[in-house]
Structure 1
Amino acid sequence: MTQLIDIENVTADPGRLVEEGRVHKSLYSNPEIFAQELDRIFNKTWVWVAHESEVAEAGAYKTAFVGRQPVIVSRDRKKNIHVLLNRCRHRGATVCEGKRGKTRAFTCPYHGWGYALDGELRAIPKPEEYEGVIDKQELPLERLRHESYQGMIFATFNEEAEPLEEFLGGAKKWIDLFMKQSGGYPLQVLGDHRFRFPGNWKIQLENTTDAYHFPIVHKSFISSLDDQTSEVFDFLDGEGFVEDLGNGHSVMVMIPELVDLEANLDDPIPERFAELAEALRAEGHDEAEVRRLVRAVGGSGFNLNLFPNVACSMAFFRVLTPISVDETEIHHVAIGGAGAPAPFNQMRLRLHEHFQGPMGFGTPDDAEGWERVQKGSLAGPDGWILVNRGLKRMAPSADGNPAGAVCSETGMRAAYQMWKRLMSDEAGE
């Protein structure tokens, strides 16, 4: 039986819109709900803003967003990292428009107020006019609380939020495993690209933990692979699983044998990486390092979703930024090893381009599906979207967490229960 819901004044209690195995379509299309999400989720919890390698040197900066609020991630001359609100304290203009770079200071282009890399206000044109009016020490760029784990920088406006490591909880184990794909070298961002799609941010959040769509949506990608690699990506009937890690985080293990990239180093080198192995040997790397690099080059065998805005997705970071209720920006970040052999990092980039790059197979197919979900959310009076696959076949994981088959919707349910917790009236008080 179809059950309808009265969504009049629904934002008074958005928790009514999330049940155990279904969510209401208004989560995708109601602008009042979106406004509450910005306040109760993106402004109150930990949001990923950068990887430390993106601001590796003194003077380096990167611009990002916490929800829709622009921020600057900077490293000062003492090598300390700061996350600053990108808004001049005078008339509110942004003080930095570059995506990344190096600078000695941030200067507002409107009236010339100048700020140090740590946000301190250092220079004001015509300072005599402010004599007895303002104290520069009281007007730095506003600072966000920030903490890092494994080089991943998170920020929050909420001074009362739990410590980052507590928030990450069961996800830390999987972040540690994900970082092994740099082949024994420090993980480094190699490049990135951005695009937008006409759909709600939660549609993309669901996608990273959805194995069910893979053989349907990504037929073209699978057809581009050699037979050996195609078998690796035929995982729906395998031993993989999706595990609820708490606080909205989840992991989808698709290829269990690639979970720990430092294990099974004596296994035969896959044919698709034989040329890479030879190139590494030609550079003089010993066989142990060759095998470690070859094992790591294709990425980990899992997708890790970190609520609300970043995924460690097999071999790259996928970051989402909510633009409006029906528009989202996606930031795909290619990663490799700092100081790793050039053939290794080059192969990492080529693999990234093949699937997630601007001309790759995966991104256009996924974006088409996301757009269709958004369109469908406006259709008909029946407002429920199902996330109940595998609900009655759950079992504890090795770590004691709820887990289901790799094609289950365990990760989606985990994210929506966190959404419900943060969006409830109690969370908003």
Structure 2
Amino acid sequence: MTVEFTADTVHGLAPSDLVREDRVAGRMYTDPQLFELEMTRIYERTWVWVAHESELPKAGSFKSTYVGRQPVIVVKDRKGTVNTLLNRCRHRGASLCEQRTGHANGFTCPYHAWSYGLDGKLRGIPYPDGYEGVLEKSELSLRKLRTESYGGMVFATFADGIEPLADFLGDVKLWIDRFMKQGGGYPVKVLGTHQFRFHGNWKIQLENTTDGYHFPIVHRSWMASVDAETADMMSFMTDPAAITHDLGNGHSVMQMVPEHSDLDVDDGTEPLQARFATLVTELKSAGLDDAAVRKLVRAVHGTGFNLNLFPNVSMSNSFLRVLRPISANETLIEHIAVGPEGPAEIVDPVNRERLRIHEHFQGPFGFGTPDDAEGWDRVQRGAQAAPEMPVLVNRGLARESAGPEGWPTSHVTDETGMRAAYNQWKQMMSDG
């Protein structure tokens, strides 16, 4: 039985009371004051994904991005250390870098030309005579966020005293390791990115990545556009082996194609799809043996799972999806295509196929993303009505149980991943 939040109390409830075992308040999508609390209590107090190491290949390589709504620069210095620097000059507050990616020897403010090293230290000030006796350069370095990485994934946090990244990830590390196996024996690198915005709350998208229930409904046009082998692979709705796990700390994983969860596990009986016949020929002509060809081609579709990392990134099958909250009613999404890095004659044909698959579903003119975004928009519009009416996250609650690893587990169509994220949201929003 579902009990509604009452109209008289929903606006006065503390954040911790907005999440219950089987439902959350619609106010969580629409309340600007709640959004402001999320930016400080969640995005400034936990590990937030900022880059993949392949985006920073050498000293001076940088990427400008955000931690919550705060602009940062992620840059590799000359010692090989990755730094996350607040993108704000210490003089009058101007942003230092407006370029998304690139290479620099340092960063100079365009307003008064204060200049900073790749490590954030203040290096130079024009016309310094006016600062004699009133300024000490060593005290005015750029604010540096604590930065750590695992498996090529770089995270930053404003909270210097929180647990190490490895502890925050916990059992997620196993799944990151598995995701990176889709390089087919080669390291994984970023191939390209594209961004778009939707008119909805960031948590709507956070829910989507481990929502198997919507797939055959929202994505039926995509299912009709692919070959029969791919459609059969993604027909997981009634597969009892297709399951979702709560991995702790708000993280979860949805195994849509369990037999592809660990790409190193291959008994050799699964035939390679006919659509990749040309790719197989190209790889063999590059000198690869049958086993190496099979390893690469079998991984072209990516892994068989979506991994959701609270609060802002998912490692979804074959790409990264990053969300950036703009306001209670707007979110920016970045889709990042990945593929193997290695000899051009081998990885170029593989990455060509991966990009075509990415474009077909995730791309701006693909079948999947526009349909997803329409659903997210509709949730936001509907949430404006009757804010006391709950949003249900109760599917599979009665059949959720602990798996062999101790993870709360249920079917791939169940809302275990959403409950995991909202439990973490509740915990963090309860801390004043």
| Residue equivalent to 1:109 | 110
The CA deviation string for residues 210-253 of structure 1, in whole angstroms up to 9 with x for no partner, is 01000010011101111111111111111200100000000000
TM-score (structure 1 length as normaliser): 0.97
Offset at 1:287? 1.3
The answer (yes or no) to whether the contact 1:265–1:295 under 8 Å persists in 2 is no
Residue 386 of structure 2 aligns with an amino acid whose one-letter code is: G
1:258 to 252, 257, 260: 260
The CA deviation string for residues 290-320 of structure 1, in whole angstroms up to 9 with x for no partner, is 0110111110000000000000000000000
Offset at 1:2? 5.0
| Residue equivalent to 1:306 | 309
Residue 398 of structure 1 aligns with an amino acid whose one-letter code is: P
The answer (yes or no) to whether the contact 1:265–1:292 under 8 Å persists in 2 is no
Give the total of aligned pairs.
424
Tell me, yes or no, if structure 1 residue 291 matches structure 2 residue 297: no
Offset at 1:198? 0.4
| Residue equivalent to 1:17 | 18
Tell me, yes or no, if structure 1 residue 390 matches structure 2 residue 404: no
| Residue equivalent to 1:270 | 273
Offset at 1:285? 1.3
Tell me, yes or no, if structure 1 residue 401 matches structure 2 residue 407: yes
Q: Give the distance between the partners of 2:210 and 2:303, measured in 1 at CA.
A: 15
| Residue equivalent to 1:375 | 381
Offset at 1:4? 3.0
| Residue equivalent to 2:122 | 121
The answer (yes or no) to whether the contact 1:71–1:85 under 8 Å persists in 2 is yes
Where 1:84 maps in the other structure, the secondary structure is: strand
Where 1:297 maps in the other structure, the secondary structure is: coil
Q: Give the distance between the partners of 2:149 and 2:340, measured in 1 at CA.
A: 19
Q: Give the distance between the partners of 1:380 and 1:42, measured in 2 at CA.
A: 28
The CA deviation string for residues 81-107 of structure 1, in whole angstroms up to 9 with x for no partner, is 100000000010110000000011101
2:332 to 329, 332, 336: 329
Q: How does 1:221-232 map to 2 (within 5 A)?
A: 221-232=222-233
Q: How does 1:20-169 map to 2 (within 5 A)?
A: 20-169=21-170
Aligned-residue CA RMSD (Å): 1.1
The answer (yes or no) to whether the contact 1:74–1:82 under 8 Å persists in 2 is yes
Unaligned runs of 5+ residues in structure 1 are none
Q: Give the distance between the partners of 1:72 and 1:265, measured in 2 at CA.
A: 45
Q: Give the distance between the partners of 1:31 and 1:114, measured in 2 at CA.
A: 37
| Residue equivalent to 2:422 | 416
Q: 1:381 to 1:150 in 2, by over 3 A?
A: closer
| Residue equivalent to 1:240 | 242
Offset at 1:3? 2.5
Where 1:320 maps in the other structure, the secondary structure is: strand
Q: Give the distance between the partners of 2:15 and 2:387, measured in 1 at CA.
A: 18
Residue 23 of structure 2 aligns with an amino acid whose one-letter code is: R
| Residue equivalent to 1:338 | 341
The CA deviation string for residues 37-59 of structure 1, in whole angstroms up to 9 with x for no partner, is 00000000000000010011111
Once the two structures are overlaid, the 10-residue window that deviates more, 194-203 or 269-278, is 269-278
Residue 385 of structure 1 aligns with an amino acid whose one-letter code is: V
Q: Give the distance between the partners of 1:138 and 1:51, measured in 2 at CA.
A: 30
Residue 27 of structure 1 aligns with an amino acid whose one-letter code is: M
The answer (yes or no) to whether the contact 1:304–1:312 under 8 Å persists in 2 is yes
Where 1:213 maps in the other structure, the secondary structure is: helix
Residue 259 of structure 1 aligns with an amino acid whose one-letter code is: S
The CA deviation string for residues 158-193 of structure 1, in whole angstroms up to 9 with x for no partner, is 011101010001111111100100111111000000
The answer (yes or no) to whether the contact 1:265–1:291 under 8 Å persists in 2 is no
| Residue equivalent to 2:369 | 363
| Residue equivalent to 2:210 | 209
Q: Give the distance between the partners of 1:383 and 1:84, measured in 2 at CA.
A: 42
Offset at 1:265? 5.8
Residue 263 of structure 2 aligns with an amino acid whose one-letter code is: L
The answer (yes or no) to whether the contact 2:25–2:388 under 8 Å persists in 1 is no
The answer (yes or no) to whether the contact 2:10–2:387 under 8 Å persists in 1 is no
Q: Give the distance between the partners of 2:88 and 2:387, measured in 1 at CA.
A: 43
Once the two structures are overlaid, the 10-residue window that deviates more, 354-363 or 22-31, is 354-363
Where 1:39 maps in the other structure, the secondary structure is: helix
Q: 1:146 to 1:362 in 2, by over 3 A?
A: same
Offset at 1:381? 5.2
Unaligned runs of 5+ residues in structure 2 are none
The answer (yes or no) to whether the contact 2:10–2:388 under 8 Å persists in 1 is no
TM-score (structure 2 length as normaliser): 0.96
Once the two structures are overlaid, the 10-residue window that deviates more, 259-268 or 189-198, is 259-268
The answer (yes or no) to whether the contact 1:244–1:250 under 8 Å persists in 2 is yes
Residue 91 of structure 1 aligns with an amino acid whose one-letter code is: R
